[in-house]
């Protein structure tokens, strides 16, 4: 009975003609505290009081109860969907529970464009269309709505007139929303490969909801002035994290450098060091080669940490003279990787330096 009612509602909505009072509104939700909400959210709201239509559409939704959720998330095969709620529900959720600000921009569209957008949204809600392969940079809650508007109202966006949305890479835009001295930020940057360093065009930068809102505001004749639906309390700026990677990895680098200079680095410490960083290197290599996350491919962090150091550490540390060619070769790889990673996001240097220092030190042992 519930399924029948669901299909009936979709059928009615898809065939409905919006009245002259209908509005299509772009709603931008401010970033939240959790990682999955740290970059904000985009909603497309269709409101027609004459016909009693109040539908707020969201892409990029997922279900934590999905079978093998974490494995599918890791592999890039987790199904994402489009969902729809009333705007009142969205407003209550973001205001009361998430405490995230919301900005509304009414789109200046004609009747044909509004109805075409409604039909496309309802078509995407059909069971055979509802799920899709989410791509953080290329196919998310913001890009889907950008494409929806461009498809049904072509020429509204003037991408060449948006210099503020150009010149940054996908990675740079992402890091704008993350604290630099954070393990999460460091981990996300370590996982990203060469594709994330591509300079995003103004259109491509709209993978971030705030950028789509900005582009919509700058487009001639596309939207009215933004209206705040709810102003969240300003976030308190986080102080310096003394347990963050700057301090922890900085101290580790100094300790490794000092003990290496004194030629008193224990064998067990070498095994532990290269095992931990080697396993991290294997994980990064796995993400770039065995998953559907194409933005993690061709990752210089693998070069910097070099996966083969584990388990080979057990042998090359015991007899560095015999393994001298390998150690020197990997030292060069590590240096190249450090420089490459540093150019992308300098805190990644701190991950590679302890490994490089030990490799450099071992390559000069003569007996």
**Same domain, yes or no, for 305 and 221?**
no
Question: Which residue do the tokens 């029948």 mark?
Answer: 4
**Same domain, yes or no, for 218 and 283?**
no
Q: Is the peptide bond before 351 cis (omega within 30 degrees of 0)?
A: no
**Same domain, yes or no, for 151 and 265?**
no
Nearest-10 Cα torsion for 72, 93, 204, 105: 160
CA distance 52 to 43: 19
Tell me if 169 is assigned to some domain: no
pLDDT of residue 15: 54
Farthest-apart Cα atoms in the chain, separation: 87
**Same domain, yes or no, for 9 and 133?**
yes
Tell me if 57 is assigned to some domain: yes
Tell me if 308 is assigned to some domain: yes
pLDDT of residue 16: 58
**Same domain, yes or no, for 249 and 226?**
no
Look at the chain and report how many structural domains it folds into: 2
In the structure encoding, which two tokens stand for residue 207, read together? Answer: 């993978």
Tell me if 256 is assigned to some domain: yes
In the chain, DSSP assigns E strands to: 23-29, 41-48, 53-61, 79-85, 102-106, 131-133, 227-230
**Same domain, yes or no, for 90 and 224?**
yes
Tell me if 322 is assigned to some domain: yes
Tell me if 197 is assigned to some domain: no
**Same domain, yes or no, for 207 and 319?**
no
CA distance 75 to 94: 30
- Up-side HSE of residue 153: CA atoms within 13 Å toward CB? 25
Tell me if 198 is assigned to some domain: no
Give residues with Cβ within 8 angstroms of 155, minimum separation 6. none
In the structure encoding, which two tokens stand for residue 104, read together? Answer: 């509304």
pLDDT tens, N- to C-terminus, the chain (367 residues):
444 444 444 454 445 589 999 999 999 999 998 888 999 999 999 999 999 999 999 999 988 888 888 888 889 999 999 999 999 999 999 988 889 999 999 999 999 999 999 999 999 999 999 999 999 999 999 999 999 999 999 989 988 878 889 999 999 999 999 998 999 999 999 999 999 999 999 999 999 999 999 999 988 889 878 999 988 877 777 778 999 999 999 999 999 999 999 999 999 999 999 999 999 999 999 999 999 999 999 999 999 999 999 999 999 999 999 999 999 999 999 999 999 999 999 999 999 999 999 999 999 887 6
**Same domain, yes or no, for 110 and 156?**
yes
Range of the domain at 63: 2-163+203-230
**Same domain, yes or no, for 351 and 276?**
yes
Task: Judge whether 29 and 199 are in contact, CB under 8 Å.
Answer: no
**Same domain, yes or no, for 153 and 220?**
yes
- Up-side HSE of residue 161: CA atoms within 13 Å toward CB? 10
Give residues with Cβ within 8 angstroms of 321, minimum separation 6. 365, 366, 367
Q: Which long-range contacts (CB under 8 A, 24 or more apart) does 4-10 make?
A: 10/122, 10/125, 10/126
**Same domain, yes or no, for 124 and 209?**
yes
Helix H, strand E, coil C: the string for 189-233 is HHHCCHHHHCECCCCHHHHCHHHHHHHHHHCCCCECCCEEEECCC
DSSP 288-323: HHSSS-GGGSS-HHHHHH-TTHHHHHHHHTT-TTTT
pTM (predicted TM-score): 0.91
Task: Judge whether 305 and 277 are in contact, CB under 8 Å.
Answer: yes
Tell me if 289 is assigned to some domain: yes
**Same domain, yes or no, for 213 and 314?**
no
């Amino acid at each position: 009975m519930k399924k029948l009612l669901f299909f009936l509602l979709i059928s009615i909505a898809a065939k409905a003609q919006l009245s002259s009072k209908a509005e299509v509104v772009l709603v931008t939700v401010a970033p939240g505290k959790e990682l999955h909400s740290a970059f904000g959210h985009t909603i497309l709201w269709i409101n027609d009081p004459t016909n009693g239509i109040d539908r707020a559409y969201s892409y990029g939704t997922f279900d934590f109860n999905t079978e093998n959720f974490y494995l599918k998330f890791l592999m890039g095969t987790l199904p994402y969907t489009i969902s729809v709620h009333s705007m009142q529900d969205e407003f209550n959720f973001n205001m009361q529970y998430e405490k995230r600000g919301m900005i509304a921009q009414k789109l200046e569209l004609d009747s044909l464009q509004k109805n075409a957008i409604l039909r496309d949204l309802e078509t995407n809600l059909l069971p055979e269309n509802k799920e899709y392969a989410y791509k953080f940079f290329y196919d998310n809650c913001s890009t889907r709505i950008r494409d929806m508007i461009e498809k049904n109202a072509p020429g509204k966006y003037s991408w060449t007139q948006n210099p503020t949305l150009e010149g940054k890479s996908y990675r740079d835009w992402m890091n704008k929303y993350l604290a630099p001295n954070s393990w999460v930020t460091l981990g996300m940057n370590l996982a990203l490969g060469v594709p994330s360093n591509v300079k995003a065009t103004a259109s491509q930068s709209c993978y971030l909801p705030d950028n789509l809102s900005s582009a919509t505001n700058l487009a001639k004749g596309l939207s009215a002035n933004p209206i705040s639906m709810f102003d969240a309390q300003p976030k308190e700026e986080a102080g310096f994290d003394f347990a963050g990677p700057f301090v922890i990895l900085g101290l580790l680098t100094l300790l490794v450098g000092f003990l290496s200079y004194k030629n008193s680095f224990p064998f067990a410490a070498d095994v532990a060091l290269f095992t931990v960083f080697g396993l991290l290197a294997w994980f990064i290599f796995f993400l770039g080669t065995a998953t559907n996350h194409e933005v993690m491919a061709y990752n210089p962090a693998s070069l910097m940490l070099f996966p083969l150091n584990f388990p080979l550490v057990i042998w090359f540390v015991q007899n560095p003279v015999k393994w001298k060619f390998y150690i020197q070769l990997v030292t060069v790889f590590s240096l190249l990787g450090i420089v490459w990673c540093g150019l992308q996001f300098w805190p990644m240097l701190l991950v590679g330096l302890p490994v490089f220092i030990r490799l450099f030190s071992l390559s000069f042992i003569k007996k």
